[in-house]
């Protein structure tokens, strides 16, 4: 897949609820995910299994109530960014939250090899 195809499919999958399915399709087995701050699980997660675990944790602990996902913004031939805005509720406490983050995805050999999330901490 080309950078543009990967970027468009990642965004479409997020919008259509196919995020977990797209992990296998778009990510390299040794991909790395980096958060802006340690939220209790460390900042960096290495490997597709670990990234799947992050998604499973989020789905189990957070309920999304709204939000938007920008179209992908390409940078050269190996990166793209997406802006995520979300409203939700923590399942355990019921506390509501609003968040906005910029995600930068690095692509090599037709797969996402690194994702970095930028947000206010």
Residue 104 forms beta bridges with which residues? 81, 116
Looking from the CA of 70 toward its CB, the CA atoms found within 13 Å total: 14
Mean of pLDDT values over 26-50: 94
State percent of the chain over pLDDT 70: 99
Domain-by-domain residue ranges, the chain? 3-119
Contacts of residue 28, Cβ cutoff 8 Å, sequence gap at least 6: 48, 108, 109, 111, 112, 113
Quote the pTM value: 0.94
Chain mean pLDDT for the chain: 96
pLDDT tens column, 51-95: 999 999 999 999 999 999 999 999 999 999 999 999 999 999 999
Quote the pLDDT of residue 21: 95
In this structure, which CATH number among 3.40.720.10, 3.30.365.10, 3.20.20.70, 3.10.450.50 belongs to the domain 3-119? Answer: 3.10.450.50
Quote the pLDDT of residue 41: 80
Within the chain, strands assigned E span 27-34, 44-46, 62-69, 73-75, 79-90, 96-108, 111-119
């Amino acid at each position: 897949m080309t950078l543009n195809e990967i970027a468009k499919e990642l965004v479409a999958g997020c919008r259509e609820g196919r995020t977990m399915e797209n992990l296998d399709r778009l990510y390299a087995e040794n991909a790395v995910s980096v958060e802006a701050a340690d939220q209790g699980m460390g900042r960096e997660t290495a490997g597709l299994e670990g990234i799947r675990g992050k998604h499973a944790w989020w789905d189990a602990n957070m309920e999304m109530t709204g939000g938007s996902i920008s179209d992908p913004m390409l940078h050269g031939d190996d990166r793209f960014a997406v802006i995520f805005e979300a409203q939700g509720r923590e399942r355990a406490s019921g506390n509501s939250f609003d968040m906005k983050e910029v995600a930068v995805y690095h692509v090599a050999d037709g797969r996402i090899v690194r994702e970095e999330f930028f947000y206010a901490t």
